[in-house]
Chain A
Amino acid sequence: MDKEFDVMIIDDEQVVLEAVTRVGTAHAYRVDAAGDAATALQRLDQSRYRLIICDIMMPDVDGFQILEAVQTGHPETSVIMTTGYATVEHAVRSLRGGAVGYLAKPFTEEELVSAILRGLRHPKTAGGQMVHDAPPRGDHVDGPPGDPSWYRLGWISWVRLEERGSAFVGVTGTFLGTVGAVQRIELFEETEEIVQGTSCARVISEDGLSHDVLGPISGTILEPNKGLHGEIARVQSDPYLKGWFYRVIPANLGYELQQLTAWSACSGEPLHSQ
């Protein structure tokens, strides 16, 4: 472990390797590039990497296999998946598999930089274990009695099902933590549709970067949280209750819930631990 890199880009396309290296280096990151899975896995044993950006569709090894190998062999390294065949399935599978982010090709410089930034900021313990927050316990919820059902899409967004059929959608404390200070949040309008695994809102951080929030479910927006416009701090202080983004009517809940991770209130760490 003689060397330490901030980012390794794994892709079979030379132009993608060059572009990421160029952008990353310009932003003062130490970037390494690997053109195939074997090289990448070999380098992982030789050097230390804080973040890996990995292509899903490669000729020799499936990107998901690399994700799994990194998850088990190098838990201290965060992974962002990327692909040119950007489907909802790929996005959802990546995030369920433990990737901290998902970046659809082609991406702009800004999208790449914000993704790298979030990936590097993903909270970890000193030993390299990922740290996550969790929604509050059932008895804190100011809704109908009974434990609400929480599901999450990776560590990005959450959905809370209500008994009356609608659902609340919001962003996780972990995601907000990686974004940094929030300047404003851009939400969709009422009656617009959000789609699972694709951008449903944009968080603009104080440094001017915009961060896409991937929606946890598909549905039609009943109401966006209008209170957020005046009081951005509400999101950061209470992302699970007062800081929700939308109330939606789910479009295909039965199918989509299977793609999400059930999130019990006691799993993970409380938000203020970071």
Chain B
Amino acid sequence: MRMEHFPGLRAATAAMMASSTRRRSRARSVSVTLADRNQTSVKVDDMFRRLAFRLIVAVGLTALLIMGIYSTFSTRWQSERLQAEVERHASQLSETVKRSTRYSMLLNQREHVHKIINDVGKDSTIQEVRVLNKEGTIIFSSRSEHIGQLVDKRAESCFACHAADRPLERLSLLERTRVFRVHPDSARILGVIAPIYNEPACWTADCHAHAQSQSVLGVLDITTSLADVDEQIALSERANAVFAVFAVIALSIIIGYFVRRWVGTPVNRLIAATREVGSGNLGYRIPHPGEDDFGMLARAFNTMTDKLSEARLQLFQSDKMASLGRLAAGVAHELNNPLTGVLTYSSFLLNRAKDNDELRSDLEVIVREATRSRGIVKSLLDFARQSVPKKSTENLNEIISRSVAVLQKQLEVKGVQVVQNLDAHLPAVRVDANQIQQVIVNLLVNAADAIGDGSGSVTLTTSSVSLPPQGVAHIKRAFCPKGHDLMDSEVKIDGLPSVKVGARWSGHKEAIHLDPVYGSTRHQYGADLAPGQEAEFLCPRCGVSLLEAGARCPTCAASVYVFHAPPRGLIQGCTRRGCGWQYWGAVEAEGYREYVEMTVSDTGSGISPDDLNKVFEPFYTTKEQRGTGLGLAVVWGIVDNHNGTIGIRTEVGKGTKFTIRLPIDNER
């Protein structure tokens, strides 16, 4: 608008460049600390392997312990069962021997007794069958060489009864049983002692061998080998051990498999993601997070990196703006003081050099240039302040009426008729009325200029609209995962800076300019990429791939590109030329938004397609000497500061229509 803005803009550009240099050096120092983090993630990897190993060892040991206890008890129980069976069998046998020899004993037919005992003793499992008298002398034995030997009562076969050197009479089967080994290497032997009690038949018998006073006449001792039992137990123990080893191995393999699948893979993915993020790729996302706990963790991680990258970019942005503001204030303050000296003294001298023409003209140059410097500094300050609209609740219709009133006479003189179709129920919006008026005045002046000398009309309309984000939301900022700006103001689509990406496919390479209106498909392709063909999208500056790993376009299954659009998350889209699929989660989540819409349409000369891409550029003008070329750039800046959108529809020779939409809930 005003000419003073020129130096202001130039100075601002210099300030931004200075700030971006500083940012670059900061980014370098950041990457140094990130390298350390890379090493940390290697340690994390080792740690995980140790964790999986420990888990397997712990589970294996637990299984081993449980199986050990189980098989110990099981073996013992089994051996007890087997032994009891042997005992019962031996005890039964001794009863049988006692009964079958009773009659022969009563008759004192010793040969008979020998015979029976020898026959019984022939059984392979029976070690020895013997009968001992009260004094401990073996009187019968299946092993004839033992007959006549005296057994020490303190020996184990007698000890149960003769523990205290006095005979006991009644003993349970358990007490009468003993297990022993002849030598340490031999098989175990089980002995059962059956006492032979005195009975009337004994002392009334013909032989009168025993006195009535005796209660126990002797003992029948049968010893059987436990070799079979022991062998079975050993077999069972071996089987148990083999089973336990196999079970533990199988368990470890199964556990290992599931740990790898449920823990290892997700953790490795997280580690890979941490590494990516650590190396500065804040756009990295963990693909396909599942529904389990790790999936939730991965989602949380993705959200975190999203927020992180947004925060980083916002920081850069606000840093840039803040440093511009600080710079402006600093420059103004520091420069204005010396300028005060120059201007005051030079004007002072000028007023005192009225008689000296030569000195006077020199001093006039100093005063003029110092005054010009004052203007430059002032416009720098104005520019720094311009970015913050002073908003209050306003009725757009009133602002329009005021703006039209401002230009009424000028327009009448030119023969331009103004038609206002304003919505009487238009909701109020929070705007900087001054700036919006500037927008309307600029558009009206443009319309009048487009109409030219012939008569025509300008129509202003207002309405409230509710719009989905598709085709409305404007991609104002786009960054590659490494933070490079993708916005390209060299190539504009419908007057707005486009999103520039590189495309690579089978050896070819070209640049693609994406439409900056979300969901809109007026992309500009290079010469080579044929419609329907897919390409890998890259950052044109650093070459990092913009492809989202594993993601597929839901409409045509082509690969999907993704970039950052701070402060509102990620934008995904299809890489196949001709497929218009795009997804911007953050704005989709906001759903339909309420806008007040204002259109300014004229019946003027229209804008040629070549010019259309440049109309919002500063210093671009078709009016030659009449305009400054800042009008529409200012319009764009103001609408942008109000989070609004601006669109142009134009036809050469018929006219132009500007559509401006301002969000009603405009608090951001």
A contact set with B: CB distance below 8 Å:
11, 13, 15-16, 18-20, 22-23, 26, 57, 83-87, 105-110, 112, 165, 190-191, 218, 220, 222, 249, 251-255
Q: Which residue of A lies closest to B348 (CB)?
A: A109
- Structural contact, B348 and A84, CB atoms closer than 8 A: no
User: A16 to chain B: which residues have CB within 8 Å?
Assistant: 337, 340-341
User: A251 to chain B: which residues have CB within 8 Å?
Assistant: 433-434, 437
Q: Is B231 an interface residue (CB 8 A)?
A: no
- Structural contact, B336 and A19, CB atoms closer than 8 A: no
User: A20 to chain B: which residues have CB within 8 Å?
Assistant: 344
- Structural contact, B434 and A84, CB atoms closer than 8 A: no
- Structural contact, B344 and A19, CB atoms closer than 8 A: yes
- Expressed in whole angstroms, the minimum distance between the Cβ of B370 and any Cβ of chain A is 7
User: A84 to chain B: which residues have CB within 8 Å?
Assistant: 332-337, 340
- Structural contact, B367 and A254, CB atoms closer than 8 A: no
Q: From A83, A107, A165, A218, give the contact of B343 (CB < 8 A).
A: A107
Q: Is B390 an interface residue (CB 8 A)?
A: yes
- Structural contact, B381 and A86, CB atoms closer than 8 A: yes
- Structural contact, B381 and A108, CB atoms closer than 8 A: no
User: A26 vs B352: C-alpha distance in the bound complex, in angstroms?
Assistant: 10
Residue interface mask B313-346, A partner, CB < 8 A = 1: 0000000000000000100111111111111110
User: B385 to chain A: which residues have CB within 8 Å?
Assistant: 87
Q: From B338, B348, B371, B406, give the contact of A26 (CB < 8 A).
A: B348
Q: Which 10 pairs of residues, A with B, have the shortest CB-CB distance?
A: A84-B336, A251-B434, A15-B341, A106-B339, A254-B392, A106-B340, A19-B344, A108-B347, A109-B347, A252-B434
- Structural contact, B406 and A222, CB atoms closer than 8 A: yes
Q: From B344, B402, B409, give the contact of A109 (CB < 8 A).
A: B344
Q: From B335, B337, B398, B406, give the contact of A15 (CB < 8 A).
A: B337
- Structural contact, A109 and B351, CB atoms closer than 8 A: yes
User: A85 vs B134: C-alpha distance in the bound complex, in angstroms?
Assistant: 131
Residue interface mask B378-405, A partner, CB < 8 A = 1: 1001000100001011100010001001
- Structural contact, A249 and B339, CB atoms closer than 8 A: no
- Structural contact, B344 and A108, CB atoms closer than 8 A: yes
User: A21 vs B367: C-alpha distance in the bound complex, in angstroms?
Assistant: 19
Q: Which residue of A lies closest to B1 (CB)?
A: A193
Query: Can you report 13 A-B residue pairs in the complex whose CB atoms are below 8 A from each other?
Result: A16-B340, A18-B341, A84-B333, A86-B381, A106-B336, A106-B341, A106-B344, A108-B371, A190-B409, A191-B406, A220-B406, A249-B405, A254-B393
User: A19 vs B410: C-alpha distance in the bound complex, in angstroms?
Assistant: 46
User: B344 to chain A: which residues have CB within 8 Å?
Assistant: 19-20, 22-23, 106-109, 112
Q: Is B432 an interface residue (CB 8 A)?
A: yes
Q: Is B61 an interface residue (CB 8 A)?
A: no
User: B359 to chain A: which residues have CB within 8 Å?
Assistant: none
User: A148 vs B221: C-alpha distance in the bound complex, in angstroms?
Assistant: 137
Q: Is B374 an interface residue (CB 8 A)?
A: yes
- Structural contact, A165 and B398, CB atoms closer than 8 A: yes
User: A11 to chain B: which residues have CB within 8 Å?
Assistant: 337
User: A83 to chain B: which residues have CB within 8 Å?
Assistant: 333
Residue interface mask B27-41, A partner, CB < 8 A = 1: 000000000000000
User: A57 vs B337: C-alpha distance in the bound complex, in angstroms?
Assistant: 11
- Structural contact, B341 and A19, CB atoms closer than 8 A: yes
User: B335 to chain A: which residues have CB within 8 Å?
Assistant: 84
With contact pairs A15-B338, A105-B340, A191-B406 given, residues A86 and B378 touching in the complex (Cβ less than 8 Å): yes
User: B402 to chain A: which residues have CB within 8 Å?
Assistant: 165, 220, 249
- Structural contact, B341 and A220, CB atoms closer than 8 A: no
- Structural contact, B351 and A106, CB atoms closer than 8 A: no
Most buried by A among B350, B381, B434: B434
